[in-house]
Structure 1
């Protein structure tokens, strides 16, 4: 079977966009297609659009390991740019429904930017979820391997665990993300696993991240991680409400309202378009 696709990248975070009619593709096929050695290579597959009753468009986000993500900031920006390129939207505000909630979005074609209002961040253990009593999960010590690390957790429709690098006395590095990321992703405190961010505050308007993404592994950039980490830093009083998140893949600008509604703005570029040949038809 041949399936039309488009591949986009947002700050080095790449996704395949496939029509929702192909959602029957199985987990093994997803893994093959996302692998750079056996398929197109991507950080996940976006199936859409669908047309729910309560939003303009619907989207399903599948990780490279075949699991389904509630929300992805870079994935959402890519999907919004895809909708614009398909002439399904113009420059007006529109809504997209994901498992992690409904977001508002707008494409700025001249600047090659997409803005997404990602929703409200919560630090509540029940909502994230994090095991233990009801509380805001801020600056808690947990054991990870042979280390003790201080974490703050949040949800913006998907779970996040933020490690402040000042508490480790070191810089955020890829090696550290690869070492502690999978341990934190699968930590017993997180029943739904967690995305993990290693955060360094540069000044009141800038933070730096290294990221371990749930279901995908080490990644150069993540939109939802940027939103969650920025919100944690702001909640702790370390940064202002408008700031830039600096990652290996590039920068995202974040605006945080007094109610912790977070809006992100970042670039999206098309990589290629073509036909996917599934294993069944190969």
Structure 2
């Protein structure tokens, strides 16, 4: 079965996008893994299926490269927003998001973050603002759920952290029953954070929009930054604002790399 797709990215966090609003599309985990493979498929961090919705302009279904379905993806939300138009609502497993887009950028509004231990979720009760746990040099993180779960460690130098080895250990720790996205952050100034992310089900990524949101919230909770910050990831910059009403505004670029057709039966 041939289907048209777009290859898109937000700051290098890349996606294969299928528009299934008129012709529904059901994908198996094996098909997602095959399409995401950078050697034998199209290659991507996440695969996105845009579906019809009776509650919003569209529903965004998100699969990680390992074939698992997840709740939220900030960079993908911006990409979908640019496809839907100037203003749009995007339904997802994390809820309905308001979006405003231009040709090459978008702002996504996320609902207030969830901060309770059972909302992250963690396996047992603890203070999510100052968690009494650690893995080698990474200690006392903050946990934040912005539609998907994140743990954030503040460090003197993000480049010095062996995130490629510590990331998978933390992701799969029994403390996190649905696994976790791992963020290491360096506060450069009251309005500037550097960030690297080990993404659940993906690995090291050039950018993670929800990670930038969660990290900004964590920094603001600890009084390390103002309520609006620039977050620099390996792929580029996002602007995050935690508004007075509790909503989180994420602004950044989105781009289409190329389009094509793929035979989905080849990945069955």
Interval containing the TM-score (normalised by the shorter chain): over 0.9
8 Å CA contact 1:73–1:118 kept in 2: the answer is: no
Equivalences for 1:158-173 in 2 at 5 Å? Answer: 158-166=148-156, 171-173=157-159
- From 107, 112, 133, the equivalent of 1:142 is 133
Shift of 1:9: 1.0
CA deviation profile, 1:26-76 (whole Å, cap 9, x unmatched): 111211111110011111111013223x22211100111011110000011
| 3-state SS, counterpart of residue 38 of structure 1 | coil
Where 1:270 maps in the other structure, the secondary structure is strand
Q: Equivalents in 1 of 2:238, 2:267: separation in Å? A: 40
Mapped contact 1:221–1:247 kept (Cα < 8 A): yes
Aligned with 1:251: secondary structure?
Answer: strand
- Rounded Cα–Cα distance in structure 2 between residues aligned with 1:205 and 1:174: 22
Q: How much does 1:22 deviate?
A: 5.3
State the match for 2:219 in structure 1.
Answer: 233
In structure 2, the CA distance between the partners of 1:139 and 1:208, relative to structure 1 (3 Å rule), is same
2:38 is equivalent to residue 11 of structure 1: no
Alignment partner, residue 86 of structure 1: none
Q: Is the Cα contact below 8 Å between 1:174 and 1:210 reproduced in 2?
A: no
Residue 47 of structure 1 corresponds to: 49
| 1:143-200 CA-partner distances (Å, limit 9, x unpaired) | 43x556221100011100001114xxxx212862111111111111111111110011
> Equivalents in 1 of 2:93, 2:229: separation in Å?
27
Q: For 1:267-278, list aligned pairs within 5 A.
A: 267-278=253-264
Is the CA contact 2:35–2:267 (under 8 Å) kept in the aligned structure 1?
no
Shift of 1:259: 4.3
Shift of 1:280: 4.0
Q: 1:281 to 1:185 in 2, by over 3 A?
A: closer
TM-score (structure 1 length as normaliser): 0.89
Provide structure 1 residue ranges, at least 5 long, that are not aligned to the other structure.
Answer: 84-88
List alignment gaps of at least 5 residues for structure 2.
Answer: none
For residues 267 and 134 of structure 2, the distance between their equivalents in structure 1, rounded to whole angstroms, comes to 48
Counterpart in the other structure of 1:105 = 99
Contact 2:81 2:99 in 1 (8 A): yes
Instruction: Return 176-185 or 70-79, whichever deviates more.
Output: 176-185
User: Size of the alignment, in residue pairs?
Assistant: 266
Residue in 2 that maps onto 1:56: 57
Residues 281/211 of structure 1: CA separation in 2 closer, same or farther (3 Å cut): closer
C-alpha separation in 2, matches of 1:281 and 1:225: 30
For 1:180 and 1:198, how far apart are their aligned partners in 2?
A: 11
Contact kept? 2:123, 2:176, Cα under 8 Å: yes
Is 1:126 aligned with 2:118?
Answer: yes
The whole-number CA distance in structure 2 between the counterparts of 1:3 and 1:148 is 44
2:178 counterpart residue number: 192
Report the Cα distance in structure 2 between the residues aligned to 1:132 and 1:258, rounded to whole angstroms.
30
